[in-house]
A and B are shown apart, each in its own frame.
Chain A
Amino acid sequence: MNLNLTISKSQIYKIRSILHAIPLHKVVFGLSLLLSIVATIVYLKQDLILAYGDAESHLNIAKRITQSITPGFAQLGGIWLPIPHLFMVPFVFFDPLWRTGLAGSLVSGISFVISSLFVYKLAFLLTRNSLASFFAALVFMLNPNILYLQSTPMTEMLLIMFFLLSSYYYISYIKNERRLSSLLLASFFGFCAVLTRYDGWFLVLFEALILIGVHLSKHERWQKIEGKFILFSTLAFFGAVLWMLWDFLILGNPFYFITSEFSAHTQQLNWLQRGELPAYHNLPLAVLYYMVTVMSNSGVFIFLISIFGFIFFIKNNKNLYRYAISGVLLVPIFFNTFTLFAGQSVIFIPHLTPISFEWRLFNVRYGSLALPAIAFFCAYALYRCKSLGPKFLIFILFILQFGLYFVGYSQIITISDGVYGLSHAKRPDAENFIVKHYDSGKVLIDDYARTLSIIRSGIPMQNIIYVGNKPYWENALREPEHYVTWIIMQKDDAVWKNLYGTPEAQGRLYNSYQKVYTSPQILIFKKTTR
């Protein structure tokens, strides 16, 4: 005796045709939009949108373009690439959106929705299977790290979007070379990626090299290959040229983003001097660090499924372009491994970082950049499983992954980094003081040192004088009493060194200002009224 459920084949065909009639890309769009809104509301309520120190900095850069003592595009600076900040400009104009961080969430949220759609489209392009493609989108959309990052003003989500758009059109071109428009679109979105994060530079470089490789493998004439290479590269690399030109015009050095004291490279040198740059010139460790970071971002089970999917993909001899496609999709892995190896970036993750290090959690969000590839390879594993058993198992593992988060086995590591990792925004007591006592007047502060949050302080951006406000910054450091009512300084920052570093400077300061707040690290002065 069995507990049976009998259904006629015609009914099954009916159900199947109904399922096939569902426009899954629209479902992906609707679901991603819903998830984006819900996740953003949740993180807004938990006060996590601005958990990262960088999150506020991105918003502030955008804000200063329109509202600052010296507004203009020069506020974009020369280190962080401009597109994320330019996209935020229309939103940060409204103070509530700026102060809550929602201005950034909107940009990341829209990027998330488009990315989800293109994860689906990419998987469909490569499998022609709508259910597997939908699964890819689900893996991506429901990833808790992605859901968190899409609610913040961080730049990862925007890069993921451009990466996906460029990769999608690029792969589309590889599969059908007559679609030159696809190549041009890949190039355009590559250009956008180039001006979003430096990872984009690697993407277009790889795409260009793979383009040559693909055409060479077909024994095409060199002139033809050259033509296509130029067609792609002109726009794609133009972003890099543009940025160097910008740095030259604004800051006098086309390589300012590499050589300046604010560059990532300079920051990594500090870690190196402390002996805390573990992957530096150690390729196996660089690979391990990044792969473990990807695993932690994607989830253990998801990561494992994707490895199987990758193996299936590579072993599929019928796909002539499998290496080229994998190469493009895995660019974030190549890029991040390279930067870790070269000492251009650093990741601290508790899985690997020694206990003796001062910090064991930093920059783990870089692992999220590989999630489009992870999602695709997961779906590919599902697609290639012929029988129901393995498909069922993949689905079970996918569900179990949420169980691991639920029971606390895995943490949402990008949130952890923002809450107690080195990436977190400081919340000094001085911030509360300024919220209560600031009334009006200009404020001198070294924003690079992130003494306190301007967003939370309630000070209008127009009243801030920081290193980017020439000539007010230099003048205020020389004669503060003529320019600012408030001076906020943190030990050893630029303001401290100039106005408090010597007894003479202190004497002059106390002549016009009164110390209204003292803590071991932060001092606040207010101009005395006479």
Chain B
Amino acid sequence: MKSLIPSLFIIFLGIALYGSTIKGTFGNYKTVQQMTTLGETTKPFESSHERATFSQTISILVHKRFDLPLDFANFSAPDVGYHKGKFFSYFPPGISFLIMPLYLFGSTLNLNLLLAYATIPLISVLSLIMLYLIASQIFRFPLWVSLASVMIYAFATTSWSYAITIYQHSATTFLLLLMYYAVWKYTQAQKMRVVWALVVGFSYGVSFFFDYPNAFLLLPIMIYFLISTVRYTAFRSKITVGLSPTIILTGASVAIMMIIFGSYNYKTYGNWKTLANHLPRYEITNLEKIKQYEKQKVTARLGGVFLEERLPNGLYELTVAPDKGLFLFSPILLLAIIGIIMSSKKMKLDRFILLCIIFTNLLLYASFSDPWGGWAYGPRYLIPSMAILSLFVGVYLSSIRLQGIAKIATLILFIVSSSIALLGALTTNATPPQIEAAYFKIKYGILFNLDYLFMGKTGSYIYTTVFSHGITLLHYFFVIETLLLIIFSIVLFIVPRIFHYES
């Protein structure tokens, strides 16, 4: 019950702010002709990521097939694979499945696009609740710090841009936080341990459907769980090492999900090991060419996708590069470094596991062939780490001695970070990497998006349908930003005074 009011506050804030920026439009979208009208920059189908995912949903629900009809394949290219005369979305099917219920519900209201897209903000709000629970229960932050951590992740990082459209990162983050919380609950609980163990197993298994690298990204939590199942007791002259049988349940739930995952791959790509993004890529013009090497055996191999030699460039791109760097797009997360240093003196296992996740996240995607995440706003692959880093900003806020100065520094960085985050959420995620921008002689990074803000171009459903006739997009930006800053200031400066007993 103690968490109820803050949770309601988070739900309200999340729905309000994500809702104010969510991409979408009125109407039911089932054909390529309809969808093509929304394909320009800032609109719901600005990237092939969104096109391929949505096309797969329509293929399954309307055309009753897992592969994409040719017109949908052309619409979704180049994020389309080709296998034995069929076209497939290049992404695992998780998001396509996830948006189905609200797509169907929306179809009855002539709002299938908007409601299908609304699935992700709802998942993101659930992530915020999980983050709050972790902050308040595991990190034992006072209320204001917990709320500040949640707000920093939600509205002062580029996670915002991906919480309002159909990308996989919000779902991954939710599963990560849920698993982490479940393991912790498992270690604390006297009852319901079986339930938490099952949550851990199924969440891990489900995560494969959202993003293939989740198998590695979430592995530290599985190790955390494994360690938690071991009990060591020394009594009199005997030492007992016990392993909880719940681990069998967790293992079984992972196995079940892996069987389903493998079966899906087998049914669609003809091999349980073959992943969508290992199929030959279809780019409209190259169909004849890929037919020639179609017979080549295609199976997943980590080494080809992730390579050590890409690490230096990848680390640079993901952390400090002007086009994608985490600390340039979300400078408030620099405070997390201080938080990590503060934690390092008495590092507990639960916090150490979180650092391992950040490390795994960085290592994986810095070694990836495309650390930029294509045309994307900020380092989108690091969104799970952004959630964790916001917790360490909380460590900084709760542990530092000079609270006044610390809060002012946090507020200033929040103003900058949230403005950058809102800019991306209101305009476009299709921001080019520096290397491509140089080739096309266009801007990159924040400057690229600023132009769209000044031009008044946005995909925001609320703005385009409600406010566009009354105020400019720039005004809309300032209204949201001002509201956000007022709420964050209240959280930083007023909530601690009201609930001072908590600290």
Spell out A's residues near B (CB within 8 Å): 1-10, 12, 288, 292, 295-296, 300, 349-352, 389-390, 392-393, 396, 404, 407-411
Contacts and interface: CB of A to CB of B under 8 A. Distances in A.
25 contacts: A2-B245, A3-B244, A4-B240, A4-B242, A6-B240, A7-B239, A295-B311, A296-B309, A351-B309, A351-B311, A351-B312, A351-B313, A352-B312, A389-B349, A390-B352, A393-B352, A393-B356, A404-B308, A407-B303, A408-B301, A408-B304, A408-B307, A409-B303, A409-B367, A411-B308
Contacts of A408: 301-304, 307
B487 interface: no
B8 interface: no
A296 B308 contact: yes
A217 B430 CA distance: 60
Contact of B242 (A5, A12, A351, A392): A5
Interface string B236-262: 011111111100000000000000000
Contacts of B311: 295, 300, 351
Interface string B351-377: 010001000000100010000000000
Interface in B277-306: 301-304, 306
Contacts of B244: 2-3
B252 to A, nearest CB: 15
Nearest to B349: A389
A348 B367 CA distance: 19
Contact of A1 (B245, B308, B312): B245
B301 A3 contact: no
B367 A5 contact: no
Contacts of B367: 409
Given A407-B301, A407-B303, A3 B238 contact: no
Contacts of B239: 6-9, 12
B349 A5 contact: no
B401 interface: no
Contact of B231 (A2, A292, A350): A2
Interface of A is mostly: mixed
The number of chain B residues touching the other chain, given as a range, is 20 to 34
Contacts of A396: 223
A410 B309 CA distance: 8
A392 B307 CA distance: 26
A10 B356 CA distance: 37
B312 A389 contact: no
Contacts of A5: 240-242
Contacts of A1: 245
A410 B312 CA distance: 14
Nearest to A291: B312
Q: Counting chain A CB atoms within 10 Å of each CB, which of B309, B349, B352, B356 scores highest?
A: B309
A7 B309 contact: no
Nearest to B242: A2
B434 to A, nearest CB: 15
Given A389-B349, A408-B301, A408-B302, A7 B238 contact: yes
Given A2-B231, A389-B349, A396-B223, A410 B308 contact: yes
B242 A3 contact: yes
Contacts of A393: 352, 356
A9 B302 contact: no
A404 B364 CA distance: 12
B227 interface: yes
A129 B227 CA distance: 26
Nearest to A352: B312
Contact of A6 (B238, B307, B313, B363): B238
Contacts of B245: 1-3
Contacts of A3: 242-245
Nearest to A4: B242
A7 B240 CA distance: 6
Contact of A351 (B234, B237, B302, B308): B308
A310 to B, nearest CB: 15
A410 B243 CA distance: 34
A409 B242 contact: no
